[in-house]
Structure formats: structure tokens, C-alpha cells
Amino acid sequence: MDRRLLVACCLALVALAGCSGGPGGPTPTAEDGTPTATPANGDGEPTETTNLTLSVGAEVEASALVRAHETALANESYAFRSGYGLASGAREQASTRLRADDGLFEIERFQYHPRRGEAAALYAREGREYVRFEDGPVTKTVAQPNRTAVPTGRQALVGVESLTVTDTIQRDGETRYVLTTGYDYETADQTLPYRRAVVDERGQIHNYTSGEYVPPESDRPGEGLLVSRWFDLSNVGETTVDEPDWLTDLRTTESDGLETVVVEHAALDTRFRVTGTDVDASVEAVTNDAVVGSDHVDESRASALIDLDIEGQVTNATVRVGYDSAALPGGASEQGLAVFVYNESLQTYLPLNTSLDTDAKVAVASRGPPVRYSSGGGPEQTLRPTLSDPTADRLVVAVMHAETWYAAFR
């Protein structure tokens, strides 16, 4: 069936004019670590904790700086912001908060998935990744093996060989070191690479900016500092992350090692849970469909007709459907309700083993009892109706009163 996809939003402009930052990137100022006018001299000795030589004029290998930076962040909570500028002037931003005590981290960012749309939240914990997507009345949560590394800024320095300590500043009561490429941009007559990191005694990078500097006389369409990548750290050791209820529910009920997708459709009062490998699921209402709807169905059902769709190697699928007891046929008991699924081979509805919560007006089902049938006078065959068959072209379900349905069917 047709699947509605979300349209990726346009990304905003990040080209930065002159030597200042622009939207989505840090603006170099004296407060965030811009070099001061008077460099401080050092003796060139490595710091005790990092083995880095952090003194004005010293050259620092980028690989050693990254190692010191990640060592300083080990077992620390922190907030991490980053941005990526594109050649077109577009940008992408990400914001991550890491809680160190149990490895839980939250990522807030634009993330488009061709089947699931735009991510509203992403969390990772203990080797698992939990993502939430929202589209009108439909909410989809996904639990899967962790595919997102804890961000530290390592990727931003890929390809950088070394940086030079060009200045020191005072920030938050401590000395910080400004590392750059060492170029003199004021006298530049050609485009030059731009790298700038502000580092503390431990080698922890508090902010980093990279891009290129285009001199004013250049024939390039842009000039000044053009930022292509940046990140900054804040609230190191102080950041907290709370686990939302939806994550707790998904984490405590999912199958280990497999992917779990839960789709909730508020308007249909339906929750569809699918477990397997590389799975996806959707929930939609069935309207004006003569194939799966009939007068007998309408007389028997106490819920909407619901179209379920699944993809992937599915090991289990369960549906939870709310029902309206007022829609029951006269004199019918709620205890006679069951979830039925339409079977294309038999062109009829088959019952699933159903658990009822009459207080919450909810029916839950996954698979049904074996059904024996014969076709065209042939040998008797047996099938077991289930919701976990991804090869089925249609999975239409409804909560129906069993005796009313059987009477109508006969």
C-alpha cells in the first residue's frame, strides 16, 4: 500500500561573512576563547596529565590532541553541539547530552529516514539505540543495535596533521591554549585553510572551528572566514539526562539483540509492536474498501477497520486495539470480543487469541488458533493466522463480536 513519507526540510545558510561566525556556528569572541593581543610565553614542557607540549609556538600533533581530548572526556557528562557547513551554504546542526553514569546519551538533531520520517528524539544506552518519530496522530519508536557513536569531536579533526599553539587565554578560572594553523590571514593573498581549537591543560577541546579563509580580493563568490565544521563542549561534569517514559517502556519490553518498532495511532487507539531484523511497521485506517468491509463486518465490529503493514524479517508482531463497547450488538457481552485478521487466501476474517481489558476497553492479540479448511474439494489444509507474516499483502484487523460474526458468516 502507499506509504506516506515525510519531506526533508530545507537546511539553512551557514556561510559566514568576514571573520565572524554565523547562524549555527560559534562566533569567535573574547569570551569563547579568541586569542588575546599579548601572547604568553611558555617553556615548552609537556603538561603532566597529557604529555602534550602546550606553550606558545609549540606544534601539537592532531592525533595526540584527540587522544588527550577523549581521555579527558572519559567518564564525564557533557553537552556537545556541532555543525556542518555545506558547499551550497546549507548547514546541519546536532546537539547531544551525555550522562556518564550509565552511558545514556540524548541526541537532538534533524535526522531524516526514508521510511520513518523525521526523528524527534534519539537516545542510546548500553549498546542499544532508541529513536522516536512523530507524524500527526502517529508516533513511532524504534529500538535497535546502537549505530551512533558517542560524539566527542574526533571526526572534525580527521585529515588534520598538526596545529600550533599561538596564544593563551583565561576562561572559567583556568588557562586555555589557542591552537591554529599558524597562518597570518590579515596579509593573505590566497585562500588558506582555517583551523582553530581552544584547549585546556588536560588537552580537552572546548571549541573547534574549521573551514577556509578567502581574502577580499579573491574572485570567489564568498570572502572572509567560511566555516565548514565546528563543535563546542559545555557543562562538562554537570550535564544530566533523564530517560523519558516511552524509552523506559520500550527498553524494558523489547527483545534483546533484535530491532523493535512500536507504532501508536492515537486517532485509531491502536498500538502495533513488531520485532525482528531490519523491520518497519505502519498503522492506517481502512476506508471505503469493499474487499475487507461488508455489512456483516459492520454489524459485528466494535472498532475501526485498521490496516497494518510490516517489512523485514519479523519474528513477532502484536496489536493492541481500543474498542467501543457501545458498538456491540444488542445483548452481546464484551467477553465475546476478539481481534480478527483478514485472510486473503480464504477471503474472510479469522480470530486471533485475544486478551481483553474491559476496564481500559482494550483488546490485545498476536496469533490465532489453527484453522482447518479445504479448497475446491481438495485435501484438508491447516493455517494459523498471525500478524507476523511480512509476505501478506494486507493485514487488516478489527475487534469484532465473535458469535455475531459467525452467525453472519454462516
What integer best gives the mean pLDDT of the chain? 82
Are 244 and 280 in contact by the 8 Å Cβ rule? The answer is: no
pTM: 0.71
171-179 CB contacts, 8 Å cutoff, 24+ apart: 171/31, 171/33, 171/198, 171/206, 174/200, 174/201, 175/200, 175/201, 176/33, 176/200, 176/206, 177/54, 177/55, 178/33, 178/34, 178/35, 179/60, 179/65
Q: Once rounded to an integer, what is the mean pLDDT over residues 91-115?
A: 72
Q: Which pLDDT score, from 0 to 100, does residue 49 have?
A: 54
Q: Once rounded to an integer, what is the mean pLDDT over residues 77-96?
A: 77
Handedness of CA 265, 247, 279, 399 (dihedral sign): negative
Bridging pattern class, strands 381-383 and 348-351: unpaired
Are 252 and 231 in contact by the 8 Å Cβ rule? The answer is: no
Q: Which pLDDT score, from 0 to 100, does residue 365 have?
A: 97
Query: Cα(first)–Cα(last) distance of the chain, in Å?
Result: 31
Instruction: Report residue 22's pLDDT band, with 50, 70 and 90 as the boundaries.
Output: very low
CA count, 13 A, side-chain hemisphere, 210: 16
Q: Once rounded to an integer, what is the mean pLDDT over residues 137-144?
A: 92
Q: Which pLDDT score, from 0 to 100, does residue 87 have?
A: 56
Are 218 and 189 in contact by the 8 Å Cβ rule? The answer is: no
Q: Which pLDDT score, from 0 to 100, does residue 92 have?
A: 67
pLDDT value at 21 more than 80? no
Q: Tell me, what DSSP letter sits at residue 174?
A: E
What is the number of other CB atoms lying within 10 angstroms of the CB of residue 195? 22
Q: Which pLDDT score, from 0 to 100, does residue 63 have?
A: 95
How are the residues of the chain apportioned to helix, strand and coil, as percentages rounded to the nearest 5?
Answer: 10, 45, 45
pLDDT value at 264 more than 90? yes
Residues 198-253 pLDDT 10s: 999 999 999 999 998 888 877 776 778 888 899 999 999 998 888 889 988 888 88
**Whole-angstrom distance, CA of residue 179 vs CA of residue 236:** 21
Number of H helices, E strands in the chain: 4, 23
Are 325 and 273 in contact by the 8 Å Cβ rule? The answer is: no
Handedness of CA 390, 396, 399, 402 (dihedral sign): negative
Q: Which pLDDT score, from 0 to 100, does residue 280 have?
A: 92
Q: Which pLDDT score, from 0 to 100, does residue 355 have?
A: 97
316 or 103: which carries more pLDDT confidence? Answer: 316
Q: For cell 509492536, what's the residue?
A: 273
**Least reliable range by pLDDT among 38-47, 93-102, 146-155, 352-361:** 38-47
Residues 287-336 pLDDT 10s: 877 778 787 888 899 999 999 999 999 999 999 999 999 998 887 899 99
**Least reliable range by pLDDT among 224-228, 355-359, 390-394:** 390-394
Q: Which pLDDT score, from 0 to 100, does residue 40 have?
A: 40
Q: Tell me, what DSSP letter sits at residue 221?
A: S
Residues 108-123 pLDDT 10s: 654 556 566 666 788 8
Q: For cell 503493514, what's the residue?
A: 309
Q: What is the dihedral of CA 61, 62, 67, 68, to 10 degrees?
A: 70
Closest CA to 407 of 291, 290, 296: 296
Q: Which pLDDT score, from 0 to 100, does residue 326 have?
A: 92
Are 285 and 321 in contact by the 8 Å Cβ rule? The answer is: no
C-alpha cell of 261?
A: 518498532
Residues 42-84 pLDDT 10s: 445 555 556 788 999 999 999 999 999 999 998 899 999 998 8
